[in-house]
Structure 1
Amino acid sequence: MELIFLSLGLFSSLSYAASASPAADNVIRLKPSLNPPPGISKPIDPSFAGFGIEPSNLFSFMGAADPNTFTLNLLNNLANYTGKPPHIRIGGNTQDYMVYREDQNQWTWINNDNAFEHGANKQDSMLIGPRFFEAANRLPNGTTVTWGLNLAYDQDDHIKQITTMAKQALTNCPNLKITSFEIGNEPDLYLQNGFRTGPWGGQIYTQQWLSRASAIHSQVLQPHGLPSNFFEAAATASTIGTDFQISDLLGFDICTAPSYLSGWNQHDYYYYIGVSGYPVSLSHLLQLSTTEDQFAAWTEQVQQAQRTPYPYALREMGVVGPIGLEGVTNVFGAALWTLNFLLYTASLGIAGIGFHMTDNSNASAWQPVAMYGRPAHVRPLYYGIVAFDQAIGPSCAARVAQYPVPQVPDGYGDFVRAYAVYQQQALATLVVVNGKVFNSSSSNSNSNSNSAPGSQPQKQRGRITVQLQLPPSTAGQTLYLAYLTNAGADATANTTWNGISFEQSGDGTPAQVSSSENTVRIANDGTATFSLQDTEAVVANLGREVGASTPGAETSCLNVPQKSPGDNDTDTTPTDPSSSSSLLLQPPAATGDAGTPNSPDDDAESGVEARFVLGTCTSTAITIAMGVMIVGLY
């Protein structure tokens, strides 16, 4: 049978049509345009593939009196591959348990013996001091950070407590580039966990969010010369069946002038134990279509965000929550899923992903300290992030488009996805992920890789052939291939990416374990052919080695059009402020330290990108509501 990718109109008229006649069994025919297709993503920020660190576990990841060099090496690897450290969110459940005490000088958080009785978890049960910020400040220089603040705490001195925490973060972390505050973690669950009683929902949340944002702006941001639009909302676990949807919050005037909003922030897990309501397996995870199904409600939120001027980020994302699942999240299959998820969400126009990490989770990209009878170690999931980072490269110009898969043979359709990456408006990279499950526990496997308990062996490892058709003008050029591979989906160790291992060194630094160069010469007719095993992914670069610098990368960040983050069209013509549509899409003015709208120079000095400054949230909310009504008529 034949596996064929067709363009279905995604690519422009410069695309070359797919051949109608089969050449071999299990062949994927890719015929991309050399120019970016319609619907392609905006340029991807190099910090896109980021992490969330649970505040109560900060010292495990960053170290106590001595820095955790294992964590720092792994973060520095990623910074080297993209030219910018991954975005870090310091936030999670325990941000809503923490208050600051100046005399708490231990390299850990301590229990508050005088905590208020309120909720299943006391809203001030954890005391942190100066050492907490000293540990956070060890992140790689220039790391962009979203810092989580405690909204659950609602005693009489709540303004003093939250402004104190914000001030400590900005004052005592000079190594970091804190770009936003997050007020509260998953407020949609506050009734469930007892942090709030009585009436509670999106509207009351908005009122309390605005009150705290206003206080932080006047007492903390203005003295630091920072603008008012410094806050992400609403860090929700889920918006399904709630009034915490973006359209709801807009209707509640969450971005009323002066604007405190810098972006939208939501959370998701592919699967959550005790919540998802169906059994999960490695095979189910690698059925990549299920990711798209699970993400449907979040896709709607992305679309609502894209009707506003504010970017949308998944600041807390996980494969299986709350702390992973052995045999699913700690095996090689999770690396393939991660690579696909990053490419998929990038193609949707999401601004960033934060894979959440705790020190006791099998879903964390690495184990930062000894636990479960094992020393600190790298999990396969980390390799999926590295593969994504090297696929987009050290550039601010990478843009991603997904290929549709309309015709595939039985057994492959839900497991195979392909993506194209464009640099400087030209095709640079193709990525194919083959999630068809093959386990290393098969009797045919000669590998000594570890296997997860309960995995089901297959008799023979299959493969597909990728047949690439490019214009004849590319004839003679070299296609460089890099594989994300292991002995099988259930392998817990010995993953390699591009011939590199992060396990062999023992300290998280990369070790080249294979020096073989995988290349294909493009034939005179523009074709190139290579193979891909089941449970494997390949990144194919046109004309340069995978991981090498992208031509023009040094200036690409400077050349990205300064547009409203939520504007999705590809036209770079400045918006006409007099038009009615521009009034619907522009945010209220952000204010600087003098309480007046920021000039471009103000934004440049504070490290915050310039934003348009007209319009109201209410008009945007009406636009979204009208869009929903119109769709409902058809």
Structure 2
Amino acid sequence: MNALLWSTLLVPSAWAAASLARAYTPIIAQNRTLSVPSSAPLGRQIIDAAFQSYSIELSSMVDFAGNLSHPNTLSHRLLQNLFSLSGAHPLIRAGGTTANRAIWVQNQTAAIIATFSPSSPDQPSALTIGPKFMESFHTFPSGTKYIFGLNFGDGDAGLDQTVLEAAGPVGSLGDSLYAFEIGNEKTSPFPNQNLALTQTGWPGSSRRPTNWTVQAYVTQFLQYATAIDSSVPNHPLYQAGAFEAPRALSNPNHTLWNAESILYDGIARTGMVKTIAEHDVCISSRCVRVLLMFGAKRCAWRTVCTWGDEFDFCKSIPYRPPSPSLPNLTLSPPPIKCQGAPLISNVFASALWSIDYVLYVSTLHISRLYFHQGTNYRYSAWQPISTPTADAGVRPLYYGNLFIATAFAGGEKQVAVLINETAFTGYGIYEAGDGRLSGLAVVNLRMWNSTQKAEERPYTAVQVKVPDEKLGNATVRRLTAPGVEIAGNVTWAGRSVDAEGFLTGTEVVEKIGHGNTVLVGAGEAVLITL
């Protein structure tokens, strides 16, 4: 059975679609104009169709992927859905906190042996992996590429273990191994002025001495990479950094833990570094308050998790194609710390937030986004297996990923910010080759709960103004749910994902309304395709 086999219903207009689906006339709460320039801003970066990718906790890879005898068909279908829409396989980063704890045991017959402690039920406190672990990297759709997170233990024993571990993925994956990442979230602790909290880090912990600086990290990273280069033939390049936010912003002496500092210290001079990763993380208690205040906005950068100077640094980098001599930046979006929070990370609001976040970040000279997930993590796009605390199946975030996969189909896109407000955003999507406008995305982040009367849901009438005024053949696909605070009854263009990962139902494709107008309800997003 084809996971993307469906019928399509073409509805006359956005107004008619809303009326047909709800059997009442939508309430127009306000009118907006979306003025669209004829081309993307000069120098805007070009993104590929796999710009939106995934990071999977290393200890959860067997759950997400299965093995050769028992592959996880749910994960396979969900990834195949995205490929069928976008034309590109999402990259998979296998890493995270447990990559720092993993020990490779060459003669271990089990794929993974994990030890959990009562104080940390989401992640094992210790784990060993062996050659059979690599079977999990052969069950996802053919063509998938991987970043493999290596342990970054200290001293001679740590270096030996990193080199030993690196040999396994190289021998198993070959060209499917996109990059290595040595260590995860090595950031130094610092008092954060905005959140009045202190971030933990490696210096002064059991991992490194107190005087371990960002400059010392660069030296040690290059030492480990050189050792792998000498011992493991045909290995890939590296993803450096993996620093955790929020972080201090002022960096005049290049001593802070961020991409700017390690580039200054020469991490890219050898040509071994392909990309530099930054992790944007929200602190849980503050994010709860943000959700209650802003509804669908969840914990986006415009509210609490502001990168400030870090985003400015990304903007300041002149766009250029990826080059080993000057690596691009990658980013993990800001989930709520400690694997997310129930009824916040796993509700429909997260899908709307993700669309806005991905589209905005695609304008910042960041080369790729990786949504992190793990077994039982509240912020995951899907739960890979059933456990005592969660059933296997998709989460609302996955529907936001479907939206983006459709918007970036074919790759070679450039994105322009058209409206940038706390509760309402709009983006233009352009073809980099010929510069033509290929799509528009509008996200209405205003609060709407499922407990409110459906017929009272307010809509914004958006009139699209393009230079040639020709939108007659434009189509509209709608992401919606009864409310932003629930996880169920989410639909993308009238369709939903079933328990086995198949897209089901009749696809509802709307035609743009009279006067080039489309309706966007509170807590909805629409994609206009030209």
Are the aligned partners of 2:78 and 2:502 in contact in 1 as well (CA < 8 Å)?
yes
Per-residue CA distance 1:271-308 (angstroms, 9 max, x = gap): 2226x587332543534895235233331342465589
Q: Quick one: distance in 1 between partners of 2:114 and 2:523?
A: 45
Per-residue CA distance 1:515-545 (angstroms, 9 max, x = gap): 4431126x7xxx4112111100000111xxx
Tell me which stretches of 4 or more aligned residues in structure 1 moved more than 4 Å. 304-308
| Residue 51 (1) aligns with residue 54 (2) | yes
| Residue 134 (1) aligns with residue 155 (2) | no
* Pairing 1:10-409 to 2, within 5 Å after superposition: 26-38=30-42, 41-64=44-67, 65-110=69-114, 125-151=126-152, 153-174=153-174, 177-188=176-187, 189-191=201-203, 193-220=205-232, 223-224=233-234, 230-238=237-245, 239-240=247-248, 243-256=256-269, 258-269=270-281, 271-273=282-284, 276=286, 279-284=289-294, 286-287=296-297, 291-293=301-303, 294-297=305-308, 298-303=310-315, 306=318, 309-314=326-331, 316-393=332-409, 395-405=410-420
Percent identical among aligned pairs is 27
* Pairing 1:528-543 to 2, within 5 Å after superposition: 528-542=516-530
* Structure 1 residues 372 and 437: CA distance shift in structure 2, 3 A: farther
Q: Quick one: distance in 1 between partners of 2:312 and 2:466?
A: 35
**Which amino acid counterpart does residue 378 of structure 2 have in structure 1?**
N
Q: Quick one: distance in 2 between partners of 1:159 and 1:472?
A: 61
**Which amino acid counterpart does residue 180 of structure 1 have in structure 2?**
A
Structure 2 SS opposite 1:499 = coil
State the match for 1:494 in structure 2.
489
Q: Quick one: distance in 1 between partners of 2:294 and 2:203?
A: 32
Q: Quick one: distance in 2 between partners of 1:438 and 1:236?
A: 35
**Which amino acid counterpart does residue 340 of structure 1 have in structure 2?**
D
**Which amino acid counterpart does residue 148 of structure 2 have in structure 1?**
W
Are the aligned partners of 1:145 and 1:179 in contact in 2 as well (CA < 8 Å)?
yes
1:157 Cα deviation from its structure 2 partner: 3.0
* TM-score normalised to structure 2 length: 0.82
Are the aligned partners of 1:111 and 1:127 in contact in 2 as well (CA < 8 Å)?
no
Q: Quick one: distance in 2 between partners of 1:76 and 1:430?
A: 24
**Which amino acid counterpart does residue 312 of structure 1 have in structure 2?**
L
1:392 Cα deviation from its structure 2 partner: 1.4
**Which amino acid counterpart does residue 398 of structure 1 have in structure 2?**
K
Q: Quick one: distance in 2 between partners of 1:36 and 1:282?
A: 35
Greater gyration radius: 1
* Structure 1 residues 280 and 338: CA distance shift in structure 2, 3 A: same
| Residue 422 (1) aligns with residue 425 (2) | no
Are the aligned partners of 2:299 and 2:334 in contact in 1 as well (CA < 8 Å)?
no
1:237 Cα deviation from its structure 2 partner: 0.8
* Structure 1 residues 427 and 327: CA distance shift in structure 2, 3 A: same
Structure 1 SS opposite 2:400 = helix
Structure 1 SS opposite 2:280 = strand
Per-residue CA distance 1:168-224 (angstroms, 9 max, x = gap): 1011124x622211111111111254211231110111111010011112222xx22
* Structure 1 residues 72 and 415: CA distance shift in structure 2, 3 A: same
Are the aligned partners of 2:315 and 2:365 in contact in 1 as well (CA < 8 Å)?
no
**Gaps (5+ residues) in structure 1?**
1-23, 113-122, 406-412, 447-459, 543-634
1:422 Cα deviation from its structure 2 partner: 0.8
Q: Quick one: distance in 1 between partners of 2:55 and 2:216?
A: 27
* Pairing 1:561-576 to 2, within 5 Å after superposition: none
* TM-score normalised to structure 1 length: 0.69
Q: Quick one: distance in 2 between partners of 1:34 and 1:261?
A: 37
Q: Quick one: distance in 1 between partners of 2:264 and 2:438?
A: 42
1:436 Cα deviation from its structure 2 partner: 0.4
State the match for 2:121 in structure 1.
none
1:127 Cα deviation from its structure 2 partner: 1.3
Q: Quick one: distance in 1 between partners of 2:115 and 2:377?
A: 22
Q: Quick one: distance in 2 between partners of 1:140 and 1:495?
A: 25
* Root-mean-square deviation over aligned CA pairs: 2.6
1:323 Cα deviation from its structure 2 partner: 1.4
**Which amino acid counterpart does residue 512 of structure 2 have in structure 1?**
V
Q: Quick one: distance in 2 between partners of 1:371 and 1:483?
A: 32
Q: Quick one: distance in 1 between partners of 2:445 and 2:484?
A: 9
Are the aligned partners of 2:112 and 2:127 in contact in 1 as well (CA < 8 Å)?
no
Higher relative contact order (CA 8 A, sep 6+): 2
Are the aligned partners of 1:264 and 1:305 in contact in 2 as well (CA < 8 Å)?
no
Q: Larger strand proportion, structure 1 or 2?
A: 2
**Which amino acid counterpart does residue 307 of structure 2 have in structure 1?**
A
**Which amino acid counterpart does residue 511 of structure 2 have in structure 1?**
T
State the match for 2:512 in structure 1.
520
Are the aligned partners of 1:133 and 1:169 in contact in 2 as well (CA < 8 Å)?
yes
Q: Quick one: distance in 2 between partners of 1:204 and 1:34?
A: 48
Q: Which one is further off, 165-174 or 384-393? A: 165-174
Q: Quick one: distance in 2 between partners of 1:532 and 1:434?
A: 7
1:514 Cα deviation from its structure 2 partner: 3.6
Are the aligned partners of 2:31 and 2:462 in contact in 1 as well (CA < 8 Å)?
yes
Are the aligned partners of 2:58 and 2:98 in contact in 1 as well (CA < 8 Å)?
yes
Are the aligned partners of 2:36 and 2:467 in contact in 1 as well (CA < 8 Å)?
no
Q: Quick one: distance in 2 between partners of 1:416 and 1:141?
A: 38
Per-residue CA distance 1:370-395 (angstroms, 9 max, x = gap): 134542011001000110110111x1
Per-residue CA distance 1:304-330 (angstroms, 9 max, x = gap): 65589321101x334312211112111
Q: Quick one: distance in 2 between partners of 1:73 and 1:318?
A: 26
* Structure 1 residues 83 and 344: CA distance shift in structure 2, 3 A: same
Q: Quick one: distance in 2 between partners of 1:303 and 1:540?
A: 27
* Pairing 1:588-599 to 2, within 5 Å after superposition: none
State the match for 2:16 in structure 1.
none
* Structure 1 residues 32 and 335: CA distance shift in structure 2, 3 A: same
* Alignment length (residue pairs): 468
Q: Quick one: distance in 2 between partners of 1:67 and 1:280?
A: 39
Are the aligned partners of 1:51 and 1:353 in contact in 2 as well (CA < 8 Å)?
yes
Residue 507 of structure 1, aligned match among 489, 496, 500: 500
State the match for 2:476 in structure 1.
481
